[in-house]
Amino acid sequence: MADIKALAAKYNDYIVERRRYYHARPELTEHEAETTEAVVKDLEAMGLPVERFEGMYGCVATLEGATPGKTVLLRADIDALPVKEATGLPFASRNEGRMHACGHDAHIAMQLGAAKILTEMRGELGGTVKFFFQPAEELALGAKGAVERGLMKGVDAVYGAHVWGLVDAGKINIAHGERMASCDMFTLTVSGEASHGSAPHLGRDAVVAASAVIMALQTIVSRVNNPLNSLVLTVGTFDAGQRFNIVADKAVMDGTVRTFDPKFRMKMEEMIRKTARDVAAGYGCTAELDYKYLCPAVINSDEKVVETARGAAVKLFGEDVLVPFEKLMGSEDFSFLMEDTPGVYGFIGGRSKDVPGSGMSNHHECYTIDEKILPMGAALAAQFAADFLAK
């Protein structure tokens, strides 16, 4: 088989240039029109047929190997964040208030590099490689939308990885089991009765009731949940009141729930509803819940696929490249791609003391990566695809 590490080095300049191109032109979730057009152009320049999705941005390219075989899908997300960039990079965002603060520019470039490598190896491949460039990851919409449009039909395995500022550049984490939590969101509306602030006894204070609800919700985590089950319940916004001297008649709060246990996840909606309703009633108020299920947990449960990815990393970079990294309560809609298809999700370290901002957490206004990891990510994706198809 071709030397994939050498091919990644060959295309290093291309991969770096594409990363910088996309970094300078970030587009927000569900607005990735120009990004999609540029990716399609890059793929067609390699001679790959590209399909778009009806009603959403993003695309998927297909590489047919020399002989028939299995099908593997590689995924890169393409959307950016509503962040004002403060990196000072010469290729910083040209789009005010938008930034690739989560590394999706690197994901695009790595996957284009993998496509270059595997296209050059076409004659050695037995099977099919699909390159999925996914929109709308930041709002957990893109993967599900693509699955609903038939993306995973006929796919035998799926691979994804994320650059990460809390892991050293040159290191990779690919682990079995729980990797990223499920994500759901809710809106609670507590309704009371307004009165003058000097006569609270004539009203029903929605602020006080809602505050009690927020505190009571945390007892689900501390007293209902098994302490061995990872669970986060966060209320992130609180909007109430009309004026400083009026008892508020309404309070609205938004929050999120994160866990790994799929059965416990499905119980959370009713527990939040009952807790909010009962606590609010104690203050003479009512509570209504609007609950939205966003994405399941990312769990690397298929041992053969996980070991194929780990073996690819070791084959390329040696045993020392693999490092431990704790599971995260953050979420990833890559989980939708794994619901009915064996898959693996890993982390590629981007932190370097020589690159300011590379040690920042993802979503930070100064976040960037050590670009030496770009050919590593391209090589890893290509090696995984080649090895999976060869087995």
Binding annotation: 102, 104, 138, 162, 363
Q: What would you measure as the largest C-alpha separation in the chain, in angstroms?
A: 82
Catalytically annotated residue among 27, 77, 79, 261:
79
56-64, strands of its sheet edge to edge:
50-53, 56-64, 126-134, 67-77, 157-168, 343-351, 172-173
Are 161 and 345 in contact by the 8 Å Cβ rule? The answer is yes
Q: Residues at the annotated binding site for Mn(2+)?
A: 102, 104, 138, 162, 363
User: How many CB atoms sit inside 10 A of residue 336's CB?
Assistant: 24
Indicate if 137 belongs to the active site. yes
Q: Which long-range contacts (CB under 8 A, 24 or more apart) does 44-49 make?
A: 46/115, 46/116, 46/119, 47/119, 48/115, 48/119, 48/131
Q: Which residue has the tokens 């695309």?
A: 59
Q: Which residue has the tokens 């520019």?
A: 105
Catalytically annotated residue among 42, 85, 105, 137:
137
Q: Look at residues 367, 279, 390, 376 and name the one whose alpha carbon lies nearest to residue 86.
A: 367
**Taking the mean position of all CA atoms in its chain, how far away is CA 9?**
27
The residues pairing with 234 across neighbouring beta strands, listed in sequence order, are 256
**Helix and strand element counts for the chain (H, E):** 10, 15
Indicate if 387 belongs to the active site. no
CA atoms within 13 A on the CB side of 382: 32
Q: Which amino acid is at 363?
A: H
Sequence-distant (6+) residues with CB within 8 A of 223 are: none
Catalytic sites, residue numbers:
79, 137
